[in-house]
Amino acid sequence: MGTLGVLGLELVQMDTPPTTAYLQIYTEERCKANCLFCAQAKDSRAGLTHIARGMYIPADLDAVVSRLKMAYEKGYLRRACIQTALYDKWWEDTVYLIKSIREKSDIPVSLSVFPLGDERYEELCRLGVNEIVIPLDACTPGLFDKIKGKSAGGPYAWERHLDGIKRAARFFESVGTHLIIGLGETDEDAVKIIDELHGYNVNTALFSYTYVPGAQLVLETNKEESIRHYRTVQMARYLILEGIVAYLDMRFTDGALCDFGAQRDVILRLIEDGTAFQTSGCPECNRPMANETFSMMYNFPRKLNDKEIASVKKELGLG
Ligand code: SF4
């Protein structure tokens, strides 16, 4: 909806507009996979126009593509992110959309997709996809199986996803993954996999678990613990990706992080800078309100103000 607002195809009042165009390929078929948190999943009863909190309203493809060109040239949008579900014609539709964008514009394109074979990776590179993102979503093999693998009635497997991520790194300069924080993992589970993926040069983007009405996964969340956990993982991710500290330097008690492995003043300086708590992922991706409400900001889609920095300090027990 925010993308349609920036493209001038819907009237949308926005606090912070998206800097990336989020393009979900629309189909009335449900996805053949069954990720329990997802509105599009085969056994979900949620509306097809939702993914997490984001609303995806079908729009005319030619209008979107030509306005995308204008919005990129004027500097309103700096990236296009394509996401697709697993349905019969997903490959043909994805290639068609990429080609349509590339015929008109040089806007950087990210594609978020399940693991593919080498020939398809090669073809996507040739078509001009700049970043590929293969969402692991869960932080451990057990959670993966339960939430989007065999136990969830889905086709995916942890090892195949990891293999797909590692193979993609041979074709694309930039490879990423998404993790949903709040599915039952500990701080340590999340930090460990972020560190491992960083070792393969994979950029991890963080999302928070969001209940979508009608989706299959309904988790009880404790607001205070959920934000402490999220902020801890954001900070640890930032320390790892910036090369300041590695997983092995951090200390955990029963899975809960008790020491970031850096001096207190370093952590305080990073909190005051705030970048660690802004939306993570591909360059220029800010995903405003993808998981957030105005009273609960997990990923800040812009720089934090002083009040927000003070809240983050408290949430991390340093305020
Ligand atoms: S990090 Fe942002 S731009 Fe990149 S694939 Fe994820 S949602 Fe899209």
| CA-to-CA separations, 172 to 127, 175, 192, 233, 316, in angstroms, rounded | 12, 6, 24, 26, 36
Q: Taking Cα atoms as reference points, which of 44, 40, 55 lies closest to residue 10?
A: 55
What's the CA-to-centroid distance between 282 and ligand 1, angstroms? 5
Task: Give 207's strand partners.
Answer: 180
What pLDDT digit, counting tens, does each position of 201-217 carry? 999 999 999 888 888 99
Enter the tokens of residue 235.
Answer: 């900070």
Strands (E), the chain: 20-24, 50-51, 54-55, 79-83, 109-112, 131-133, 174-181, 202-208, 251-253, 256-259
Provide the pLDDT for residue 313.
Answer: 97
Residue from 84, 111, 124, 178 whose mutation best tests the ligand 1 pocket (most atoms within 8 A of CB): 178
What CATH number did the domain enclosing 160 receive?
A: 3.20.20.70
Residue from 3, 19, 20, 241 whose mutation best tests the ligand 1 pocket (most atoms within 8 A of CB): 20
Protein residues with CB under 6 Å of any ligand 1 atom: 20, 79, 81, 110, 112, 133, 176, 178, 205, 281-282, 285, 287
Q: Taking Cα atoms as reference points, which of 313, 66, 76, 44 lies closest to residue 152?
A: 44
- Residue 78 has, within 13 A of its CA and on its CB side, a CA count of 10
Number of structural domains the chain divides into: 1
Query: Which residues, given as ranges, of the chain have pLDDT below 70?
Result: none
Helix-then-strand count for the chain, H and E: 10, 10
Provide the pLDDT for residue 63.
Answer: 97
State how far the Cα of 268 lies from the Cα of 313, in Å rounded to an integer: 8
Show the domain range for 267: 2-315
Provide the pLDDT for residue 214.
Answer: 86
Could you tell me the pTM of the whole model?
0.96
Provide the pLDDT for residue 84.
Answer: 92
What pLDDT digit, counting tens, does each position of 39-74 carry? 889 999 888 887 777 788 999 999 999 999 999 999
Q: Taking Cα atoms as reference points, which of 277, 274, 247 lies closest to residue 262?
A: 247
Nearest protein CA to atom 4 of ligand 1, as residue: 282
State how far the Cα of 241 lies from the Cα of 25, in Å rounded to an integer: 31
**Average pLDDT along the chain:** 95
Residue from 111, 285, 286, 299 whose mutation best tests the ligand 1 pocket (most atoms within 8 A of CB): 285
State how far the Cα of 306 lies from the Cα of 87, in Å rounded to an integer: 46
Provide the pLDDT for residue 16.
Answer: 94
Q: Please report the DSSP string for 247-287 in residue order.
A: GGGSEEETTEEEE-SS-HHHHHHHHHH-GGGB--SSTT---
Q: Exposure of 13 by Cβ count < 10 A (0-12 exposed, 13-18 middle, 19+ buried)?
A: exposed
With H, G, I as helix, E, B as strand and everything else as coil, classify residue 210.
coil
What pLDDT digit, counting tens, does each position of 136-167 carry? 999 999 999 999 999 999 999 999 999 999 99
Enter the tokens of residue 241.
Answer: 């990706």
* Site of tokens 């349509």: 100
